[in-house]
Chains A and B, each alone.
Chain A
Amino acid sequence: MPTPHALNQYPWWKYLLIGLALFWALTFALPNLFGEDPAVQISSARANIPIDAAFQSRVAGLLEAEKLPHKRLELETDRLLVRFSDSEQQLKAADLLKDRLGRDYIVALNLASSAPSFLRALGLNPMYLGLDLRGGVHFLMQVDMDATVKQIEDGYVDEIRAQLRNDKVQYTSVGRAATGGVQVEFKDAAERDKAAQALRKSLGNLEQTDAGPLGLKLTLGEPEIKEKRDFALQQNITILRNRVNELGVAEPIIQQQGSDRIVVQLPGVQDTARAKEILGATATLEFRLADEENDWNQAASTNRIPINSRLYKDREGRPVLLQKRVMLTGDSIVDASSGLDQQNGGPAVFISLDGKGAGRMEAGTKDNIGKRMAVVFIENKTETKRVDGELKKSTFTVEEVINVATIRDRLGRRFQITGLDSTREARDLALLLRAGALVSPIEIIEERTVGPSAGKENIAQGFRAAMISLLVIAAFMTLRYKTFGLIATAALVANVVLIIAALSMLQATLTLPGIAGIVLTMGMAVDANVLIYERIREELRNGNSPQAAIHAGFDRAFDTILDSNLTTLIAAIMLFGFGTGPIKGFAVTLSIGILTSMFTAVTGSRALVNLIYGGRKLQKLTV
């Protein structure tokens, strides 16, 4: 047994460790103290329109002309942030800027942290607030995968029919089977065998089974279906991302959830009707031949457009002059995928057309080899705007050239577009080509909207509940354990700071249930101190000296604390694994709280006890 003097003293490095941990926690928690400014965030909608100092002064001029006071303008890498002192000014300014800046810029509402910029430069950010605390819309969308497979099979029906006709195989019918797959019927078995052989060669990816006396069934293999489903999901995510961008949302979240769902979170967006209009726009595609006889730039600058041509813009805003006649529309596209060109290894997009489309493509390209062909992406959008206080619905079309390529050959059922700058560009083009052809239908299966004032109220209520909880616990503990109660309170405060620091560092989402998790952990965190203190009292009653009692109390209570915290942690982890949205937020704060409370309530409060009582001769101890 060590002498009482050696008891309850930590080596210097332990104090240092605790000090460092607290310093770390305070540093990471610091940005949360500054609150947030309502702000308007402006970014460029096109690559060739820069956000620079000139643009900054233009925006400043616009705001000044309308006498809209703002706190300050901040120019960042590719966005301009205008801070306001209240949200009314923010909304007014956003409406004004949207109106004046036009579609070249994305004007979004944002809540910008008002922490000094050096903190941000150090990578220190406040906690990320969930939609229930900051207001906004949450959509859960489901991609209709049955429809996706059906669309693909419909495409194959056309293709098989054309193939059989090409190979001069006699068939009686080709169609989608009710149970999935493509069913082909023949007059006799010989024709069927001929077809099976021909199709195995040209469409080897389809699995063949005999169906009925004179039938052949072709089904997509599992890996192919999976690939198409993944593609359908990715395609929808890409399209949604493009559309959300123009909706003007500061920090949107668009991500996959499960195998066929997409989560879209739009903080700050209130008008769900408009959000749905934009997210639900439909797209089509057109292939047009380029106007090779006139100068594109000249036509654009003089605005003198030849009678048989139309002026378009590409994604960078450069003018493109195309023939008025549409060669082919997107509904002829059966499939588009990106890959590598077999000849030069560069990125390429492979396109398959249906039978009718192939015919038109052949006719359109055979006399135009060496000339250019463009793909125009057309989105039909509905927009509801407030005009003179009344809501007016307007439909408009956005047309954009997504690719211009030289025709190298007579194009038919399958062709490829090469000369793309990157595999990423190839991937995007393939997605857009398919977007114009056959987008898998998506439906909104969950929607949650929280108004901005409701969000603010939730924060206020959560904060008040947490503070009062803390005060009540502090009063209760101090009443019962005197000095030790104060130590437990100090540990509790440190615990809350640690939780906030951890949440800020991980940028985990704080939700209202998350605040409930913090309140609950406060109650459970003092349990460790209660266990220790009750143990010390017991040891004192058993006649141990104060120092020995403190030592034994901390020592013996530790096993219990470990056991009880680990079991709670198991429940919290299960909650995290199976929970979604706000529940996950609860599980996160609960888990973090359990872990940090082990540190503060055991190591932290021990350090304080050691500092106060350690190494002293104690006759009496009040616990």
Chain B
Amino acid sequence: MGPFSLYNTNIDFLRWRKLAMAWSVAVLLIALLSLLVRGMNLGLDFTGGTVLEVQYPQPVEIPKVRETLAAAGFAAAQTQHFGTSRDVLIRIPPHGDQSNAATLSNDVLRALQTAEGGAGATLARAEFVGPQVGQELVEQGGLAALGALAGILIYVMFRFEWRLAVGTIAATIHDVLFTVGWFSLFQIEFDLTVLAAVLAVIGYSVNDTVVVLDRIRENFRKRRKGSTMDIMNLSINETLSRTIMTSLVTLLSVIVLYFLGGAVMRGFSIAMIIGIVVGTYSSIYIASATALYLGISREDLLPRAKETADERP
């Protein structure tokens, strides 16, 4: 056998379902509270404004850059190192005047280049997003998330059963809320790539849950004995080694992305890492436990023998 011994486990997962539920509810409340109180640290994509990434030939001190910018009339600019001490990230909040904002990046760069020690500064990246675009991106992101959830709900309802579909959606919403809540609580910047990651988390979370659901359905049909809870526990145990293996492999690739994918991919990787960890937990606890609460039983998952018999000529 391999380095892990996860076979023939007989862990009574669902015995702790109340505790797990309580924990999840508590965590989600914290997430919601944080979203309400602290809000999101929304990135440029959503708020509008200007971001510049300037690369210096030699290490540069932030206070000096700030001074230069303030002297040039960009007092509202936020400045920080980005990656190395030679890279500087400058954020300028949205301006009242649109046409001015569009030429801002050039003005700022010129100011930096003419300042002492800024001779070789080059523009690595500049982004300007108008306020009307940001609002739309928020709407589109929300619509994409809702559309994905609705599509998955319908698919699982059609392939499985409504209680399991509700359980799946509950698990998915749990994962999304947890991830977004984490970003809110720790005020990590939430930009467009993070939004993509959150939607990928939806996909991943459902993927994970569906594997367990599949086994639950199979076991209900195969085994005549045992309570609903026993069957669910058995199914979770049987798929446990796969759940952990897949989560580990995906987690590893995302961790590689975190360390090697560059600063732009960092937010994306953090969201995926959180999503994969809670997704694994939620597919064990939330999905099955919710279906259990909704009163799922063996009969709900057996093939409707009579109807199918009628369909055959």
Task: State the CA gap A457–B132 with chains docked (Å).
Answer: 31
Indicate if B308 sits at the interface (CB-CB under 8 A).
Answer: no
Task: State the CA gap A559–B221 with chains docked (Å).
Answer: 15
CB of A472 within 8 A of CB of B253, answer: yes
CB of B128 within 8 A of CB of A446, answer: yes
Indicate if A308 sits at the interface (CB-CB under 8 A).
Answer: no
* Given A453-B55, A454-B124, A564-B211, residue A461 in contact with residue B238 (CB < 8 A): no
Indicate if B25 sits at the interface (CB-CB under 8 A).
Answer: no
Task: State the CA gap A538–B251 with chains docked (Å).
Answer: 24
Which residues of B lie under 8 Å from residue A462 when comparing CB positions? 261-262
Indicate if A590 sits at the interface (CB-CB under 8 A).
Answer: yes
Which of A461, A534, A537, A563 is the one whose CB lies under 8 Å from B262?
A461
Closest CB in chain A relative to B133 CB, distance in Å: 5
Indicate if A530 sits at the interface (CB-CB under 8 A).
Answer: yes
The residue on B at minimum CB distance from A477 is: B249
* Given A481-B2, A575-B144, residue A567 in contact with residue B210 (CB < 8 A): yes
* Given A465-B261, A516-B261, A519-B256, residue A582 in contact with residue B133 (CB < 8 A): no
Indicate if A316 sits at the interface (CB-CB under 8 A).
Answer: no
* Given A448-B127, A563-B214, residue A534 in contact with residue B245 (CB < 8 A): yes
Indicate if B155 sits at the interface (CB-CB under 8 A).
Answer: yes
Indicate if A20 sits at the interface (CB-CB under 8 A).
Answer: no
Which of B99, B141, B152, B207 is the one whose CB lies under 8 Å from A524?
B207
Which of B124, B144, B214 is the one whose CB lies under 8 Å from A577?
B144
Task: State the CA gap A449–B105 with chains docked (Å).
Answer: 9
Task: State the CA gap A454–B86 with chains docked (Å).
Answer: 13
Which residues of B lie under 8 Å from residue A480 when comparing CB positions? 2-4, 245
Closest CB in chain A relative to B286 CB, distance in Å: 16
Which of B200, B208, B260, B268 is the one whose CB lies under 8 Å from A464?
B260
Interface members, chain A 549-606 (any B CB < 8 Å):
556, 559-560, 563-575, 577-583, 586-587, 590
CB of B203 within 8 A of CB of A449, answer: no
Which residues of A lie under 8 Å from residue B147 when comparing CB positions? 574, 577-578
Indicate if B272 sits at the interface (CB-CB under 8 A).
Answer: yes
Query: Do most interface residues of chain A lie in helix, strand or loop, or is the interface mixed?
Result: helix
Closest CB in chain B relative to A497 CB, distance in Å: 17
CB of B249 within 8 A of CB of A523, answer: yes
Indicate if B206 sits at the interface (CB-CB under 8 A).
Answer: yes
Closest CB in chain A relative to B61 CB, distance in Å: 22
1/0 contact string of B250-288 vs chain A (CB within 8 Å): 111110110011101100110010000000000000000
Closest CB in chain A relative to B270 CB, distance in Å: 12
CB of B249 within 8 A of CB of A579, answer: no
Task: State the CA gap A560–B192 with chains docked (Å).
Answer: 31
Indicate if B246 sits at the interface (CB-CB under 8 A).
Answer: yes
CB of B196 within 8 A of CB of A575, answer: yes
Indicate if A513 sits at the interface (CB-CB under 8 A).
Answer: yes
Indicate if B220 sits at the interface (CB-CB under 8 A).
Answer: no
Indicate if A527 sits at the interface (CB-CB under 8 A).
Answer: yes
CB of B196 within 8 A of CB of A583, answer: yes
* Given A519-B256, A560-B211, A564-B210, residue A524 in contact with residue B155 (CB < 8 A): no
Of A464, A516, A579, chain B has the most CB atoms within 10 Å of the CB of A516
CB of B196 within 8 A of CB of A579, answer: yes
> Total interface residues on B, using CB and 8 Å?
78
CB of B203 within 8 A of CB of A572, answer: yes
Which of A523, A570, A571 is the one whose CB lies under 8 Å from B253?
A523
Which of A464, A520, A522 is the one whose CB lies under 8 Å from B272?
A520
Indicate if B41 sits at the interface (CB-CB under 8 A).
Answer: no
CB of A527 within 8 A of CB of B249, answer: yes
Which residues of B lie under 8 Å from residue A445 when comparing CB positions? 98, 129-130, 132-133
* Given A276-B102, A446-B128, A571-B152, residue A468 in contact with residue B256 (CB < 8 A): yes
The residue on A at minimum CB distance from B258 is: A465
Which of B193, B214, B218, B251 is the one whose CB lies under 8 Å from A583?
B193
Task: State the CA gap A444–B104 with chains docked (Å).
Answer: 12
CB of B125 within 8 A of CB of A582, answer: no
Task: State the CA gap A174–B270 with chains docked (Å).
Answer: 62
Which residues of B lie under 8 Å from residue A473 when comparing CB positions? 249, 252-253
CB of A580 within 8 A of CB of B144, answer: no
The residue on A at minimum CB distance from B218 is: A556
Which residues of B lie under 8 Å from residue A531 when comparing CB positions? 211, 242, 246
Of A462, A512, A523, chain B has the most CB atoms within 10 Å of the CB of A523
Task: State the CA gap A276–B100 with chains docked (Å).
Answer: 12
CB of B207 within 8 A of CB of A568, answer: yes
The 20 sampled A-B contact pairs (Cβ below 8 Å) are A272-B106, A443-B99, A444-B128, A447-B129, A453-B122, A457-B262, A461-B265, A464-B260, A465-B260, A465-B265, A479-B2, A480-B2, A512-B262, A513-B268, A519-B254, A570-B203, A571-B151, A571-B199, A575-B199, A583-B192
Which B residues have a C-beta under 8 Å from some C-beta of A? 2-4, 7-8, 53, 55, 98-99, 102-103, 105-106, 122-130, 132-133, 137, 140-141, 143-145, 147-148, 151-152, 155-156, 159, 192-193, 195-196, 199-200, 202-204, 206-208, 210-211, 213-215, 218, 238-239, 241-242, 245-246, 248-254, 256-257, 260-262, 264-265, 268-269, 272
The 10 closest A-B pairs by CB, nearest first: A523-B250, A571-B203, A445-B130, A578-B144, A568-B203, A454-B124, A461-B262, A449-B126, A574-B148, A523-B253
Q: A473-B252, A520-B254, A534-B241 are in contact. List 19 more A-B contacts (CB 8 A).
A: A140-B133, A272-B105, A272-B126, A445-B98, A451-B125, A453-B55, A472-B252, A472-B253, A477-B249, A480-B3, A513-B268, A519-B254, A520-B200, A520-B253, A527-B250, A534-B239, A568-B206, A581-B192, A586-B196
